[in-house]
Amino acid sequence: MISHKITKRPAPWNTLRAGLKHRWTVPFRAFEWLWEWVAYGLSRWSFLEVLEYLGSFSVLVGVIFYFSESGDRVKQRHYQAWQVINTAQGKGGSGGRIEALQELNEDKIPLVGVDVSSAFLQGVRLERANLLRANMSAADLRRSVLIAADLTFADLHDANFRGSNLQNASFSNADLKDTDLVGSDMTGADLSETDLTGADLRSANLCTVKWNAIKSIKSANIAGVKAAPEGFVQWAVEHGAVENAQAE
């Protein structure tokens, strides 16, 4: 709240000087008295009060513009994130893609068809991400978190998901050929029509996975799988899977 206060009129100089006990203080008191008059004069100037109101008004206008343009800033941020991802397409390393992917997913932007093949994405967190038809082949996704992510029709061959949290993720019709899933948690994952040829599933948690419609599991290593559904191991071996605990 703006409060405009008129300063009290200074006392006459002769009166002030007569009250001074020490002569050496006269110049200092005179200097202060001069500024008292300046303050008194300015306090009676209405133009300064107008400037105060204008200053407050400009702040209000700035706040209004800030919020009115928030949508444009979000769009610009998303555009920059996509630019980071697309510029590094097909290249190794991270190149800022971990942060870009997470930011887009946090804003619930679909990542359909995103190409991060061969990228270094260790520890990326993409819970409930829409990664339909994404290309993550040969990507390093160790210790990543893709809980309930939609990886339907995704290309994940030769990707490294060691120690990752893939609970309730959908791998329906996905290509998981030669994919490293050692020690991953695949609890509740959907493997319908999934190609697991040559995949390494050692010590993976397969509790309640949907496995009945797996497309291929030939040469997949299922040694030490945990909480596998009843009948899964026998079926897998009958369809070409192996149990080689000593594999590299």
pLDDT digits (tens, 9 = 90+) for 87-96: 888 788 888 9
Averaged pLDDT of the chain: 87
Q: How confident is the model at residue 31, as a pLDDT?
A: 73
What is the mean predicted confidence (pLDDT) over 50-65? 63
103 CA to centre of own chain: 3
Structure tokens at 96: 């800022």
Overall average pLDDT of the 36-61 stretch? 64
Q: Which residue has the higher pLDDT, 14 or 44?
A: 14
Q: How far apart are CA 37 and CA 34, in angstroms?
A: 5
pLDDT score of 43 more than 70: no
Name the residue among 34, 44, 32 with its Cα closest to residue 8: 44
Q: Domains of the chain: which residue ranges? A: 13-68, 92-248
Strand intervals (E) in 1-134: none
Which pLDDT does position 14 carry in this prediction? 73
Model pLDDT, residue 49: 60
Q: Which two tokens stand for residue 181?
A: 């899933």
Residue with tokens 């300015």: 42
Tens of pLDDT along 100-121? 999 999 999 999 999 999 999 9
* Stated length of the chain: 248
Mean pLDDT comparison of 26-35, 92-101, 235-244, highest-scoring range: 235-244
Query: What fold characterizes domain 92-248?
Result: Pectate Lyase C-like (2.160.20)
Mean predicted confidence (pLDDT) in 182-199: 98
